[in-house]
Homo-oligomer: A and B are copies of this chain.
Amino acid sequence: MTLKNDRLLRAFARQPVDRTPVWLMRQAGRYLPEYRATRAIAGSFMGLATNPELACEVTLQPLLRFDLDAAILFSDILTIPDAMGLGLSFETGEGPRFAHPVRSTADIARLAVPDMETELRYVMDAVRLIRRELGGKVPLIGFSGSPFTLACYMVEGGGSNNFARVKALALDDPAALHRLLDVVTQSVIAYLAAQRAAGAQALMVFDTWGGMLSPHLYREFSLRYLTRIAQTLPRGDGSERTPLVLFGKGNAPYLEELAASGAEGLGVDWTVSLADARARTGGKVAIQGNLDPSTLYASPEAIRREVRLALESYGPGPGHVFNLGHGLSPDMDPEHVRVLVDAVHEFSAH
């Protein structure tokens, strides 16, 4: 099936585009009333994520409203540890919880790479279904959490303010954390490869928490594994290559190193200017980002001004995929999201 809108893939390949492509992290989510309706039918977040038909439905919802240049699989970054047997659940207002966090070397020794077409079949089924339903309208992005970010949740047992457990593990038993990261990295590579085989046309890795580490620990426990993924994930060659994009909150200090990892693109948060990110990566990678999501709380006029500033900061030439610097929040106004998406296309049109 021919792809009718290939702006995203052209931008990741650093080829010319007629307008800057745009998609938004968490574009399928609670800020949309139609998402909340489907979520209510599913009964729970994981009920939604594990039902391919419903996951497909919410993946497509934002594309019916907005002129977006990509769909992204509706899922969660914690599906891999859940498939490893950690028992994922979401308490209302409390975020993710694991019933069986990883707390000992014995816990780590028990972890194994899940089978992608049985234990994570619901994800691959969703990818296949979404690809079919998209009908080539826009490309489909698959994704995974980064090894370090998954390790954070696995060790802490959920979200954390200070990452006390995983940071203590990094300092007190680095070999154990490396064993954990090794099996998680193998799983991430298998997971992304399976999503690609099922039809994902671009692949994102979300390193939400690596930027909370000191530089020497970031390089040892996060960057090393991101680089291994970028180096070893099979994803085709030449014009058929599936782009791999590494997003990291707080990754600005490491853009030069990330650009040398072998990934096709880097996603950056809003604390670095796109001009800086572009200059520091020297055309080696595409750059995705990076409007502060809180911009959406301002007026349409301000949103349009900030979109224009971001486009001007990146400047002319190839390799920019517009996005937020982090995900959309439930209290954001869908009409403001529309203003943003339309402004990207309007101000970047040649």
Contacts and interface: CB of A to CB of B under 8 A. Distances in A.
A302 to B, nearest CB: 4
Nearest to A163: B294
Contact of A215 (B162, B212, B272, B305): B272
A164 interface: yes
Contacts of A162: 293-294, 297, 329
Interface in A202-218: 211-216
Contacts of A163: 294
A331 to B, nearest CB: 8
B215 A295 contact: no
A309 interface: yes
A253 interface: yes
Contacts of A306: 171
Looking at A294, A297, A301, A302, the one whose CB has the most chain B CB atoms below 10 A away is: A294
Contacts of A294: 162-164, 167-168
Interface in A231-269: 250, 252-253
A297 B252 contact: no
A174 to B, nearest CB: 9
B297 A165 contact: yes
Interface string A307-350: 00100000000000000000001010000000000000000000
Given A172-B299, A215-B271, A273-B215, A292 B253 contact: no
A302 B215 contact: no
Contacts of A214: 270-271, 273, 292
Contacts of A165: 297
B216 A295 contact: no
Interface in A157-202: 162-165, 167-168, 171-172
A298 interface: yes
B298 A216 contact: no
Contacts of A309: 216
B253 A171 contact: no
Contacts of A211: 271
Contacts of A215: 271-273, 276
A272 B292 contact: no
A231 to B, nearest CB: 25
A176 to B, nearest CB: 13
Contacts of A168: 294, 297-299, 302
Contacts of A271: 211-215, 250, 253
Contacts of A270: 214
A172 B298 contact: yes
Contacts of A305: 171
A90 to B, nearest CB: 18
A118 to B, nearest CB: 38
Given A172-B299, A213-B292, 5 more contacts: A163-B294, A167-B298, A172-B298, A216-B309, A250-B271
7 contacts: A167-B294, A167-B298, A168-B298, A168-B302, A214-B270, A214-B273, A253-B271
